[in-house]
Chains A and B, each alone.
Chain A
Amino acid sequence: DGGITQSPKYLFRKEGQNVTLSCEQNLNHDAMYWYRQDPGQGLRLIYYSQIVNDFQKGDIAEGYSVSREKKESFPLTVTSAQKNPTAFYLCASSIQGDGANVLTFGAGSRLTVL
Protein backbone atom coordinates (compact mmCIF):
# COMPACT_ATOMS: atom_id res chain seq x y z
CA ASP A 1 0.00 0.00 0.00
CA GLY A 2 1.18 3.50 -0.78
CA GLY A 3 1.68 5.91 2.03
CA ILE A 4 3.98 7.91 4.23
CA THR A 5 6.04 6.31 6.96
CA GLN A 6 7.35 8.36 9.84
CA SER A 7 9.76 7.05 12.43
CA PRO A 8 10.19 6.87 15.27
CA LYS A 9 6.66 7.24 16.57
CA TYR A 10 7.90 8.38 19.97
CA LEU A 11 11.26 9.97 20.70
CA PHE A 12 12.82 11.33 23.85
CA ARG A 13 15.67 13.78 23.69
CA LYS A 14 17.95 15.24 26.26
CA GLU A 15 18.58 18.95 26.12
CA GLY A 16 21.46 19.83 23.82
CA GLN A 17 21.04 16.80 21.58
CA ASN A 18 20.20 16.82 17.89
CA VAL A 19 17.60 14.30 16.74
CA THR A 20 16.49 13.29 13.26
CA LEU A 21 12.94 12.32 12.35
CA SER A 22 12.53 10.12 9.33
CA CYS A 23 9.87 10.54 6.64
CA GLU A 24 9.61 8.20 3.66
CA GLN A 25 6.87 8.11 1.01
CA ASN A 26 6.16 5.64 -1.78
CA LEU A 27 3.41 7.69 -3.41
CA ASN A 28 5.72 9.18 -6.07
CA HIS A 29 4.77 12.63 -4.80
CA ASP A 30 6.96 15.57 -5.76
CA ALA A 31 6.29 17.76 -2.74
CA MET A 32 6.94 17.01 0.91
CA TYR A 33 6.27 19.03 4.06
CA TRP A 34 7.05 19.09 7.76
CA TYR A 35 4.55 20.54 10.21
CA ARG A 36 4.71 20.98 13.94
CA GLN A 37 1.66 20.76 16.19
CA ASP A 38 1.52 21.81 19.83
CA PRO A 39 -1.32 20.81 22.18
CA GLY A 40 -4.51 22.61 21.24
CA GLN A 41 -2.81 24.31 18.33
CA GLY A 42 -3.06 24.07 14.59
CA LEU A 43 -0.35 22.96 12.23
CA ARG A 44 2.64 25.22 11.68
CA LEU A 45 4.86 24.73 8.65
CA ILE A 46 8.56 24.12 9.35
CA TYR A 47 10.05 23.30 5.94
CA TYR A 48 8.79 22.12 2.58
CA SER A 49 10.31 20.78 -0.60
CA GLN A 50 8.80 20.79 -4.06
CA ILE A 51 11.62 18.94 -5.80
CA VAL A 52 14.69 16.91 -5.02
CA ASN A 53 17.69 18.91 -3.78
CA ASP A 54 15.56 21.97 -3.10
CA PHE A 55 13.61 23.09 -0.04
CA GLN A 56 12.18 26.26 1.47
CA LYS A 57 11.70 27.54 4.98
CA GLY A 58 8.24 27.62 6.40
CA ASP A 59 6.95 29.83 9.18
CA ILE A 60 8.99 28.32 12.04
CA ALA A 61 12.22 27.00 10.48
CA GLU A 62 14.61 28.27 13.18
CA GLY A 63 16.29 25.40 15.00
CA TYR A 64 15.42 22.84 12.33
CA SER A 65 17.16 21.52 9.24
CA VAL A 66 16.13 19.25 6.37
CA SER A 67 17.52 17.54 3.30
CA ARG A 68 15.90 16.19 0.14
CA GLU A 69 18.46 13.97 -1.53
CA LYS A 70 15.88 11.50 -2.76
CA LYS A 71 12.32 12.00 -3.93
CA GLU A 72 11.08 9.47 -1.40
CA SER A 73 12.80 10.89 1.68
CA PHE A 74 12.60 14.16 3.61
CA PRO A 75 14.24 13.83 7.04
CA LEU A 76 13.92 16.56 9.64
CA THR A 77 16.67 17.31 12.16
CA VAL A 78 15.69 19.05 15.35
CA THR A 79 18.84 20.80 16.50
CA SER A 80 19.88 21.95 19.94
CA ALA A 81 19.12 25.49 18.76
CA GLN A 82 15.40 24.70 18.90
CA LYS A 83 14.56 25.88 22.40
CA ASN A 84 11.16 24.27 22.78
CA PRO A 85 11.12 21.14 20.61
CA THR A 86 8.55 19.10 22.52
CA ALA A 87 5.72 18.69 20.01
CA PHE A 88 3.94 16.40 17.57
CA TYR A 89 5.70 16.42 14.19
CA LEU A 90 3.80 15.60 11.02
CA CYS A 91 5.24 14.86 7.62
CA ALA A 92 3.04 15.21 4.55
CA SER A 93 3.31 14.94 0.80
CA SER A 94 1.34 16.01 -2.25
CA ILE A 95 1.50 15.17 -5.94
CA GLN A 96 2.69 18.66 -6.79
CA GLY A 97 3.84 21.50 -4.64
CA ASP A 98 1.28 24.06 -5.69
CA GLY A 99 -0.94 23.58 -2.67
CA ALA A 100 -3.98 22.78 -4.75
CA ASN A 101 -3.35 19.11 -4.32
CA VAL A 102 -4.42 17.13 -1.33
CA LEU A 103 -1.91 16.52 1.45
CA THR A 104 -1.35 12.97 2.63
CA PHE A 105 -0.01 12.80 6.17
CA GLY A 106 2.15 10.30 7.96
CA ALA A 107 1.16 9.01 11.40
CA GLY A 108 3.39 11.54 13.15
CA SER A 109 6.33 11.52 15.51
CA ARG A 110 5.97 12.72 19.08
CA LEU A 111 9.14 14.29 20.46
CA THR A 112 9.62 14.92 24.15
CA VAL A 113 12.57 16.74 25.65
CA LEU A 114 13.58 15.42 29.04
Chain B
Amino acid sequence: QKEVEQNSGPLSVPEGAIASLNCTYSDRVSQSFFWYRQYSGKSPELIMSIYSNGDKEDGRFTAQLNKASQYVSLLIRDSQPSDSATYLCAPWGWNTDKLIFGTGTRLQVFP
Protein backbone atom coordinates (compact mmCIF):
# COMPACT_ATOMS: atom_id res chain seq x y z
CA GLN B 1 0.00 0.00 0.00
CA LYS B 2 1.28 3.44 -0.93
CA GLU B 3 1.88 5.82 1.95
CA VAL B 4 -0.30 8.51 0.41
CA GLU B 5 -2.95 7.80 -2.22
CA GLN B 6 -4.73 10.27 -4.43
CA ASN B 7 -6.83 9.79 -7.55
CA SER B 8 -4.68 11.15 -10.38
CA GLY B 9 -7.69 12.48 -12.28
CA PRO B 10 -8.26 14.58 -14.18
CA LEU B 11 -11.23 15.73 -12.18
CA SER B 12 -13.33 17.95 -14.43
CA VAL B 13 -15.88 20.33 -12.93
CA PRO B 14 -17.81 23.25 -14.42
CA GLU B 15 -17.10 26.78 -13.29
CA GLY B 16 -18.99 27.60 -10.12
CA ALA B 17 -19.27 24.00 -8.95
CA ILE B 18 -17.72 22.39 -5.88
CA ALA B 19 -14.56 20.38 -6.52
CA SER B 20 -13.84 17.58 -4.04
CA LEU B 21 -10.31 16.21 -3.81
CA ASN B 22 -9.55 13.19 -1.68
CA CYS B 23 -6.46 11.71 -0.04
CA THR B 24 -5.92 8.61 2.06
CA TYR B 25 -2.78 7.82 4.02
CA SER B 26 -1.39 4.71 5.62
CA ASP B 27 0.56 6.10 8.59
CA ARG B 28 -1.75 6.10 11.62
CA VAL B 29 0.50 8.50 13.53
CA SER B 30 0.16 11.27 10.97
CA GLN B 31 -0.55 14.51 12.80
CA SER B 32 -0.43 17.32 10.27
CA PHE B 33 -1.84 17.46 6.77
CA PHE B 34 -0.96 19.86 4.01
CA TRP B 35 -2.52 20.61 0.65
CA TYR B 36 -0.27 22.12 -2.00
CA ARG B 37 -1.37 23.46 -5.36
CA GLN B 38 0.94 23.12 -8.37
CA TYR B 39 0.31 24.81 -11.68
CA SER B 40 1.78 23.13 -14.73
CA GLY B 41 5.53 23.75 -14.94
CA LYS B 42 5.58 25.62 -11.63
CA SER B 43 6.55 24.77 -8.10
CA PRO B 44 4.02 23.78 -5.40
CA GLU B 45 2.54 26.35 -3.07
CA LEU B 46 0.77 25.71 0.21
CA ILE B 47 -2.95 26.42 0.22
CA MET B 48 -4.21 24.65 3.35
CA SER B 49 -2.99 22.91 6.47
CA ILE B 50 -5.09 21.00 8.99
CA TYR B 51 -4.12 19.39 12.28
CA SER B 52 -7.36 18.40 14.03
CA ASN B 53 -10.32 16.26 13.06
CA GLY B 54 -13.14 18.17 11.44
CA ASP B 55 -13.32 21.00 8.97
CA LYS B 56 -11.12 24.02 8.43
CA GLU B 57 -12.28 26.78 6.13
CA ASP B 58 -10.21 29.44 4.38
CA GLY B 59 -12.06 31.46 1.79
CA ARG B 60 -13.32 29.12 -0.93
CA PHE B 61 -11.23 26.23 0.42
CA THR B 62 -12.29 23.75 3.10
CA ALA B 63 -10.06 20.98 4.38
CA GLN B 64 -11.70 18.02 6.09
CA LEU B 65 -9.83 15.55 8.27
CA ASN B 66 -10.89 12.18 9.65
CA LYS B 67 -7.96 10.56 11.42
CA ALA B 68 -9.90 7.43 12.34
CA SER B 69 -10.54 6.78 8.64
CA GLN B 70 -7.09 8.08 7.65
CA TYR B 71 -8.73 10.39 5.18
CA VAL B 72 -8.28 14.04 4.34
CA SER B 73 -10.09 16.01 1.67
CA LEU B 74 -10.06 19.44 0.09
CA LEU B 75 -13.24 21.13 -1.11
CA ILE B 76 -13.07 24.08 -3.47
CA ARG B 77 -16.31 26.04 -3.63
CA ASP B 78 -17.29 28.23 -6.59
CA SER B 79 -14.52 26.67 -8.68
CA GLN B 80 -12.81 28.98 -11.13
CA PRO B 81 -10.77 28.18 -14.25
CA SER B 82 -7.78 29.60 -12.35
CA ASP B 83 -8.15 26.71 -9.90
CA SER B 84 -7.12 24.29 -12.67
CA ALA B 85 -3.93 22.73 -11.31
CA THR B 86 -2.60 19.61 -9.62
CA TYR B 87 -3.34 19.35 -5.90
CA LEU B 88 -0.82 17.47 -3.76
CA CYS B 89 -1.63 15.96 -0.39
CA ALA B 90 1.18 15.67 2.19
CA PRO B 91 0.66 14.18 5.66
CA TRP B 92 3.26 14.36 8.37
CA GLY B 93 3.68 12.35 11.56
CA TRP B 94 5.83 12.54 14.68
CA ASN B 95 7.76 9.43 13.58
CA THR B 96 9.30 11.18 10.58
CA ASP B 97 11.20 14.36 9.81
CA LYS B 98 10.15 14.73 6.20
CA LEU B 99 7.00 15.23 4.20
CA ILE B 100 5.80 12.47 1.90
CA PHE B 101 3.72 13.72 -1.00
CA GLY B 102 0.93 11.99 -2.86
CA THR B 103 1.09 11.88 -6.63
CA GLY B 104 -1.55 14.59 -6.85
CA THR B 105 -4.98 15.05 -8.41
CA ARG B 106 -5.25 17.11 -11.56
CA LEU B 107 -8.25 19.43 -11.46
CA GLN B 108 -9.75 20.97 -14.59
CA VAL B 109 -12.37 23.70 -14.22
CA PHE B 110 -14.12 24.46 -17.49
CA PRO B 111 -16.10 27.67 -18.23
A25 to B53, CA, bound (A): 34
Query: Which of A12-20, A37-45, A65-73, A76-84 is found at the contact surface with chain B?
Result: A37-45
Q: Is the CB of B102 within 8 A of A107?
A: no
Interface residues on B, range: 20 to 34
Q: Please, how many angstroms separate the alpha-carbon atoms of A100 and B45 in the complex? A: 15
Residue B1 is within 8 A (CB to CB) of chain A in the complex: no
A98 touches B43 (CB 8 A): no
Q: List 10 A-B contacts (CB under 8 A).
A: A35-B101, A40-B103, A42-B102, A42-B103, A42-B104, A50-B97, A99-B32, A99-B92, A103-B44, A106-B43
- The total of interchain contacts (Cβ-Cβ below 8 angstroms) comes to 51
Tell me the interface secondary structure of chain A in the complex: loop
The closest CB in chain B to the CB of A42 belongs to B103
Chain A residues near B (Cβ < 8 Å): 33, 35, 40-43, 45, 48, 50, 58, 90, 97-100, 102-103, 105-108
